[in-house]
Amino acid sequence: MRRRIRVAIALVTLASLFTIALQSLHLQDPSGLGYFLSTFDTYILTKECGRSFSHISSIIPGGIVLADDIATCGAKLKSSSHWTTHEAQIHFDELGYTKKYQQALNLCAKGGKEKCLILEDDIVFINGVSNLFQRIRFHMMFFNGPSWAYDCSSVGLGWLKTGQTSNKSLCRIVDKRSSLCLAQEMTTIDLAADLALGKAQEVCGVNQHRFLLVQHTGYRTVIRTDSIEKTETN
């Protein structure tokens, strides 16, 4: 009986501390945007900044665009100094999603932020700006690390490990410290992006978690889904 009371008191104490921490975060950064900007690099995978790109770029405050059609995409980005295309893209033509994911992960590893948000261009956010970044912060502040990755296009309790949900690559959150391993493993897996990413996470010891942040628009894909073009290393 006494043990149950002690456990109950401990749980109440933890819940109280958790609530106080959340309230403190809300007072310091009500929208969660400050946390997002200091913690995340964002990458959008697209062909020519079409489909839902305008929706995404109007909500996410800047990042890098991995596009096939640099000229068309660049023209659409002229009005925004917060979004840029990665210069390496000019050396490729009609990249598939797998190649784009690998490139985004490599850039993530070299970036200056702790986390990376990778988005395909056929999604819409299910939350408004008022609580979108709050939800991201809620999961990241307490449940994260190099062995944590999120599928943010599937329903789930973010802090619970779910197994690989490799059929969803619309929205992913990865840790910078594990992104290089993921990128390197994807070069050895001759599969589409979603399956290759799932297998790479298993090899790299990255646990899959999920919470719903975006929804698929249903637009037809316009980017080739070719597998990775394997390259020989010296």
Strand 40-46 to 63-67 pairing: parallel
> Does residue 222 lie in a domain region?
no
Domain CATH for 176: 3.90.550.10
The whole-number pLDDT of residue 77 equals 77
Q: Are residues 119 and 185 in the same domain?
A: yes
Within this chain, do residues 1 and 107 fall inside the same structural domain, yes or no? Answer: no
What are 15-43's pLDDT values in tens digits? 554 554 554 555 466 788 999 999 999 99
- Are residues 38 and 23 located together in one domain of the fold? no
Q: Which of 77-81, 156-160, 223-227 has the lowest mean pLDDT?
A: 223-227
Query: E-strand spans in the chain?
Result: 40-46, 63-67, 83-85, 115-120, 123-125, 148-151, 171-175, 207-210, 214-216
Claim to verify: residue 163 and residue 70 sit in the same structural domain: yes
Same domain (yes/no): 50, 6: no
Whether 19 is in a domain gets the answer yes
The verdict on residue 96 lying in a domain is: yes
Q: Is residue 221 part of a domain?
A: no
CA dihedral 219, 125, 204, 112 (to 10 degrees): 120
Looking at the chain, the whole-number percentage of residues with pLDDT higher than 70 is 69
Is 8 found in the same domain as 97? no
* One domain, residues 46 and 119: yes
In terms of domains, do 4 and 82 share one?
A: no
Could you tell me which residue, 227 or 26, shows the higher pLDDT? 26
Query: Do 41 and 130 share a structural domain?
Result: yes
- Does a structural domain hold residue 225? no
What digits encode the pLDDT tens for the residues 208-224? Answer: 888 889 988 865 544 44
224 lies in some domain: no
Q: Tell me how far apart the alpha carbons of residues 196 and 180 are, in angstroms, rounded to a whole number.
A: 14
Q: What does DSSP assign to residue 74?
A: H
pLDDT beyond 80 at 176: yes
pLDDT value for 222: 43
What is the chain's mean pLDDT, rounded? 77
Nearest alpha carbon to residue 37 among 72, 14, 13, 61: 61
Q: Which pLDDT score is estimated for 113?
A: 94
Q: Does the pLDDT of residue 150 top 60, yes or no?
A: yes
| Amino acid at residue number 77 | L
The span from the CA of 108 to the CA of 22, in Å, is 28
Give the tokens for residue 57: 């770029």
Residues 190 and 154 in one domain: yes
Residues 182 and 70 reside in one and the same domain: yes
Domain that holds residue 23: 1-30
Structure confidence at residue 180 (pLDDT)? 96
Residues 25 and 37 in one domain: no
Is 84 a domain residue?
A: yes
DSSP state of 165: -
232, part of any domain: no
Count of structural domains, the chain: 2
